[in-house]
């Protein structure tokens, strides 16, 4: 079979007798000529590998793969170290925020206490009897004469409908 026939060219088979195939004489001569040419011999040699060459090629490929694997491992180790550093930075930032929140909570507590003290002082200034009497607001309103209730009654507008009855 010619190289041309090996590469996919169609052959014109004259006939088949048992296991033998009969081709045209021109095709047979062309095949003979191709096989004798130095290019065909060179191509046949280039496709043939010896076992030693194959072993050397495989060893070289293994070395290259090992180097690539080691590079990947080094790269992954660097990435892991970088991520650990990032995690530590985030932990530090989180701790700083927690400390700031604690300071804020203390400031709010102190401000609330100051506000309560200011309200207590304001109440003492207006009505000193409120601090002395531990009674509830309802009892203190009933017992003490309230000047504000008199003012409220006078300031109310009188309407005509209560007089219609």
pLDDT tens-digit series, residues 55-105: 888 899 999 999 999 999 999 999 999 999 999 999 999 999 999 999 999
Phi-psi region of 139 (alpha: psi -120 to 50; beta: other; left: phi over 0): alpha
3-state SS, 75-109, equals HHHHHHHHHHHHHHHHHHHHHHHHHHHHHHHHHHH
Residue 8 falls inside a structural domain: yes
pTM comes to 0.37
Cβ within 8 Å of residue 22, ≥6 positions away: 13, 14, 15, 16
Q: How many distinct structural domains can be found in the chain? A: 1
Residue 89 falls inside a structural domain: no
Q: What pLDDT, on a 0 to 100 scale, did the predictor assign at position 41?
A: 59
Residue 37 falls inside a structural domain: yes
* Domain carrying residue 1: 1-48
Cα separation, 113 vs 4, whole angstroms: 102
Q: What pLDDT, on a 0 to 100 scale, did the predictor assign at position 106?
A: 95
Residue 99 falls inside a structural domain: no
Residue 44 falls inside a structural domain: yes
- Say whether 100 sits in a helix, a strand or coil: helix
């Amino acid at each position: 079979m010619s190289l041309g026939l090996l590469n996919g060219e169609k052959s014109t088979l004259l006939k088949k007798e048992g296991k033998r195939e009969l081709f045209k004489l021109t095709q047979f001569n062309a095949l003979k000529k191709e096989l004798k040419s130095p290019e065909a011999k060179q191509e046949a040699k280039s496709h043939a590998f010896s076992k030693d060459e194959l072993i050397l090629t495989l060893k070289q490929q293994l070395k290259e793969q090992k180097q690539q694997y080691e590079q990947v491992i080094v790269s992954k180790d660097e990435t892991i170290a970088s991520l650990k550093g990032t995690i530590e930075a985030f932990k530090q930032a989180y701790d700083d925020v927690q400390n700031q929140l604690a300071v804020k909570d203390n400031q709010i507590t102190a401000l609330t206490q100051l506000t309560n003290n200011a309200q207590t002082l304001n109440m003492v200034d207006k009505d000193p009897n409120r601090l002395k009497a531990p009674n509830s607001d309802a009892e203190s309103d009933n017992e003490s004469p309230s000047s504000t209730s008199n003012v409220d009654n006078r300031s109310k507008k009188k309407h005509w409908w209560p007089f219609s009855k």
